[in-house]
Amino acid sequence: MWNEPTQAQLDAIPRLYETEGIALTDKPIYLHFFIGLCNWYITEFDGDDTFFGFAILNGDYEMAEWGYISFSELKELRVSWVHVDHDTYWHVRRACDVEDIMRGMR
């Protein structure tokens, strides 16, 4: 993985189920990972290996969904020699403020 998130960034993410009472469109998105046309938007973390967030794979918005994502699998994922990248310019925002997520939720 390029630009792996720092421990402080990971620690700032709410634990799994902590945002359960928040509507999906209002959930804060703490991290963004990407490779090619694939994007993962992270809202919760178990502190070990499991994220909860929104995934858009191969640019397919019709099949995009909320679900669980393995951090170790993201770190190992490669397309040819290219690794998944962590968006170092990302700042926390609500899901409804992320165009990709809203497009995938339609």
State mean pLDDT over 64-71.
Answer: 98
Alpha-carbon distance of 34 to 41, in angstroms, equals 9
Residue for token pair 């630009």:
3
Confidence of residue 81 (pLDDT cuts 50, 70, 90): confident
pLDDT of residue 11: 98
Q: What are the strands, taking DSSP E only, across the chain?
A: 28-29, 31-35, 38-45, 50-56, 65-70, 78-79, 82-83, 85-86, 93-94
pTM given for the model:
0.95
pLDDT at residue 2 greater than cutoff 90 = no
